[in-house]
Amino acid sequence: MKTKSRPPRRRAPPQDADAEAAPGERTPDRSPPGAGPDPAKGVRSRAARAAAGARAEGGRRRPGSGPGGRRDSSAQRRLESNERERQRMHKLNNAFQALREVIPHVRADKKLSKIETLTLAKNYIKSLTATILTMSSSRLPGLEGPGPKLYQHYQQQQQAGGTLGAPEAQPQGHLQRYSTQIHSFREGT
């Protein structure tokens, strides 16, 4: 992972790239290998779409639709790079799917979007953390066991504005937030 922050990226002029670089003919619908009906992709039936070949154009720009499209090694490298990028995104999507499967939520009939998944997961973690803290600190007033250490760690995180972040240290708060969130997703708000 990159931890460094990068300078703001400037973007090359919008895709007139067609004009140059013509990276070869575009790949005809490369639905991901083994991604006929993308398993990770449920309900919103992209599957149907793929089946229908509807995705033939995908959202892709067409690099070298012109005749001169073929272009030696640089075009070849571009294609390979595209393929790697696709694979990378597929892995990312698999990870999203795995995450969806472990966070409890209602509305099983509808797939959580990525943003919903992340948000829900974050609050789920918070609520679990808070619950653990409550349980372990109430267990004993201070000597052994994970309780005090956990609590101290949690407090440090809070002070550092750390990943546990939010100022509501009350487990209730997290739980509350998580469940309202589930609720709002259920209602589609």
Partner DNA sequence: TAGGCCATCTGGTCCT
Partner DNA sequence: AGGACCAGATGGCCTA
Task: Give the C-alpha distances (Å, rounded to integers) separating 113 from 37, 40, 117, 169.
Answer: 17, 12, 6, 28
Residue bearing tokens 């992972």: 1
Q: Which residues contact 67 (CB under 8 A, 6 or more apart)?
A: none
State phi, psi for 39 to the nearest 5 degrees: -60, -35
- Shortest approach of DNA to residue 35 CB, angstroms? 6
34 binds DNA per the rule CB under 7 A = no
Binding mask 125-164 for DNA (x = CB under 7 A): ----------------------------------------
Q: Indicate the length of the chain as a whole number.
A: 189
Report the alpha-carbon distance of residue 47 to residue 54 in Å, rounded: 10
184 binds DNA per the rule CB under 7 A = no
51 binds DNA per the rule CB under 7 A = no
**Rounded to a whole number, what is the largest CA-CA distance in the chain?**
78
Interaction residues for DNA, span 60-119 (CB under 7 A): 60-63, 77-78, 80-86, 88-90, 93, 111, 113-116
Residues making contact with DNA (CB under 7 A): 1-4, 6-7, 9-12, 14-15, 17, 20-21, 23, 26-27, 30-32, 35, 38, 40-41, 44-46, 48-49, 52, 54-55, 57-63, 77-78, 80-86, 88-90, 93, 111, 113-116, 188
